[in-house]
Amino acid sequence: MTRRIAGILASIAIVLSLGAFAAPAASAAPAQAQPAQGSVGLCLVIPLGSLVYPICI
């Protein structure tokens, strides 16, 4: 019985030590910015009587 408990504790210790080594490496990596798909336009529309003059960037 003690041999089985020791085996279980050893396997838990191995899993926790692997998690301790893997977690800081994964969390220490900076977040990568994802490029935007598509485009954004900003337009200003100036009405000049019957003429409409749009200015877009």
In a domain, 52, yes or no: no
In a domain, 1, yes or no: yes
Q: How many domains does the chain have?
A: 1
In a domain, 37, yes or no: no
Q: What's the pLDDT score for residue 4?
A: 79
Full domain range(s) for residue 10: 1-27
Token pair belonging to 36? 């935007």
Query: CA 53, CA 49: separation in Å to the nearest integer?
Result: 10
> Mean pLDDT over residues 11-24, rounded?
67
In a domain, 53, yes or no: no
pLDDT greater than 60 at residue 2: yes
Query: CA 55, CA 3: separation in Å to the nearest integer?
Result: 79
In a domain, 18, yes or no: yes
In a domain, 10, yes or no: yes
pLDDT greater than 80 at residue 21: no
| 7 against 15, higher pLDDT | 7
pLDDT greater than 60 at residue 27: no
In a domain, 33, yes or no: no
Calculated CA dihedral for residues 27, 30, 34, 35, nearest 10 degrees: -170
Q: What's the pLDDT score for residue 56?
A: 83
